[in-house]
Structure 1
């Protein structure tokens, strides 16, 4: 749109003018802006259609596979919690335990969706299932603090397992 406006400005500067020139320029300016907007919309639609066609070429009904990048990214965010901790009962655990639990949940989901299949991640998935069964749906700070050792222990065991499987996160 900016290019169209600059083009119109250049055209106006180079054309003389005269009676009715301002009105003609206003109409030309409006037409140019409208044409530029239309071209921009059409280019966006063509790009979307092209991307959809490329994705649909392989298998129309298949969702894109998450690939190992999701496991790698989820593990990286879990690893970022390794140097953090809190003191149960001191009122500083809500964020930390909530974050570790959320990171474990995301890692669980990415492992289940990975192309290697859940069988490849049997041990960490079993550890997380055990933790999630114990936690239930309660994510309140007192409940998470009650399970502090289980949450941190699960995080640490999964980190150790992943360190022994570098092909899953590199």
Structure 2
């Protein structure tokens, strides 16, 4: 009776260790090597081990996966600047407005997470907050089209502000 319980505990320990190593060492891909979902799935699979309950208590999941680092302002700003070459043609306008909106919020998150602190970026953060207030909760294509001048205006004003702060994007 004890042998199947010990075997189940050993399988669980190996599974948990492998999941922790996968999460901490990464396996490539677009997520920078952070795979907390895979680790959670492995832990969930080991928790439903058919060998029966263990009297050893909860197992130690191992070291926690490192949290992803916040995006750098320069990278988020570069992605926003990449939208400058596109125009709002009928075939492209919905995509472009959505992309500019998303990139503005990427910049906002990066500025708020920057080691210099959000106080270093008061104007861009305020511009995005003003845009959000104008858009309200509706981020759909029709509302973005109605507020197209504000969306592109926020992008352009942030670009101008950043040009005056080259140390923040180089």
Classify the TM-score, shorter chain.
Answer: 0.5 to 0.7
Q: Does 1:78 align with 2:60?
A: no
Higher relative contact order (CA 8 A, sep 6+): 1
Unaligned runs of 5+ residues in structure 1 are 1-37, 50-59
Structure (1 or 2) with the greater helix fraction: 1
* Partner residue, 1:150: 150
Shift of 1:149: 0.2
Moved more, 97-106 or 129-138: 129-138
Q: Deviations over 1:88-114 (max 9, x none)?
A: xx4642100000000001100110010
Shift of 1:139: 1.6
| Counterpart Cα distance in 2 of 1:115 and 1:71 | 10
* Partner residue, 2:110: 110
Shift of 1:45: 3.9
Q: How many residues align?
A: 115
| Counterpart Cα distance in 2 of 1:81 and 1:47 | 34
Secondary structure in 2 aligned to 1:85? coil
Q: Does 1:136 align with 2:144?
A: no
Q: How high is the TM-score relative to the length of structure 1?
A: 0.59
| Counterpart Cα distance in 1 of 2:113 and 2:79 | 17
Task: Indicate the RMSD between aligned Cα atoms, in angstroms.
Answer: 2.9
Unaligned runs of 5+ residues in structure 2 are 1-13, 26-63
